[in-house]
Structure 1
């Protein structure tokens, strides 16, 4: 169950990483506005990947 939700959240984060900088952050003139957002999304994706794949074990 958590794995399915985790992969769904990963999809949402990837979609947000593409959509948000070109819509909500469009009027931010400084380049570090989008960069800070992408860094936060990147960190969230890494942590979520670790959580989702922690149960994968080699037989």
Structure 2
């Protein structure tokens, strides 16, 4: 269940990465508006994945 919720949240973040720059940030003339947004979303996904996988181990 934890992985399913994580997959849903990451999917929403990926959709935001496509939708927001072309809708909310389309009036920004410079490219770094979208780049900063994508950079922040990438950081959020990395942190989220680190939290999600911290309990995984190879011990049986």
Tell me which interval the TM-score lies in, with the shorter structure as reference length: 0.7 to 0.9
Greater relative CO, 1 or 2 (CA 8 Å, sep 6+):
1
Runs of 4+, deviation exceeding 3 Å: none
Report the number of matched residues.
59
Rg larger in structure: 2
Instruction: Return 5+ residue gaps in structure 1 as ranges.
Output: none
1:33 aligns with 2:13: no
User: TM-score, length-normalised on structure 1?
Assistant: 0.84
User: TM-score, length-normalised on structure 2?
Assistant: 0.83
